[in-house]
Structure formats: structure tokens, C-alpha cells
Amino acid sequence: MNDEQIRIAVAKELGWQVIETDDCNGTDNYWLSKDGQNVWRSEFDWPMGLPHYQDDLNACHEMEKAMLSDEGNDWKEYDTLLTLEMTFPAWFASARDRCEAFLRVRGKWID
């Protein structure tokens, strides 16, 4: 997956939603965060918009916190994947590695 595909796939898994609107210039797509506080429009990359998960460990931390709040074994599978298959120890994993592990655990990674 390329960086933009990773960014969008992680955002969707974390509850960002695409909102389609019609204005005088045609149809625009906006992204709205799960909490409704952030908006991102595809033509512009505003600082308060869609995070660059694949490049930002702080954004990955938010992704990891969301995984901890979910029920199930996602966190354990994520940690095992990072430790045994990608990076050892897991805390040395890059943002991109963390995104790949997250999407693999969620069944959203595309080879």
C-alpha cells in the first residue's frame, strides 16, 4: 500500500467518515473525525485534518489507544506481529510498520 492508501485505511478504521456535499462547484468530499472536531478536504491538507499516520508516531499512539479500548485480541495480535514478524523489539517500530501491523490485524492491509 502507498502512503495515502495507508493514511485513508487507518482513518476509516478509526472512525473518520467521508461526507459528500454538493455546492455551486459540484460535489466535494470531506472527511469528518469520529468526534466531529476535525475536518479534512481532499484538495487541501489542513493541519487539523486527516493525520499522516504512516509518518507520525504521535498519530500512531492515538491508533494504539483506540485498539486498547476495543474488545478482543487486536492489541495482542498487533504486538505479536510487530515483535515476531516485523521489528524487534516492538517499541523500535516505525510509524509505517505500526500502521501495517494495525491494518493487518484488522484485515485491511492490501499487498
The length of the chain, given as a count of residues: 111
CA distance 32 to 34: 7
Q: Angle at the Cα of 24 (from 19 to 25), degrees rounded to 5?
A: 75
Confirm if 106 and 13 have CB atoms less than 8 A apart.
Answer: yes
pTM of the model: 0.81
Q: Is residue 36 part of a domain?
A: yes
Tell me what pLDDT residue 25 has: 61
Residue 35, domain extent: 3-105
pLDDT of residue 41: 63
Q: What is the pLDDT of residues 21-68, one digit of tens each?
A: 766 565 566 777 788 776 666 555 544 567 889 999 999 998 898 888
In-domain check, residue 52: yes
| Separation of alpha carbons 34 and 68, rounded Å | 17
Contact 41, 27 (CB under 8 A): no
Residue 111 lies in a domain: no
The residue with greater pLDDT, 75 or 95, is: 95
pLDDT attached to residue 38: 65
Within a domain: 84: yes
Residue 33, in any domain of the structure: yes
Residue 27 resides in a domain: yes
Domain assignment of residue 110, yes or no: no
Count of structural domains within the chain = 1
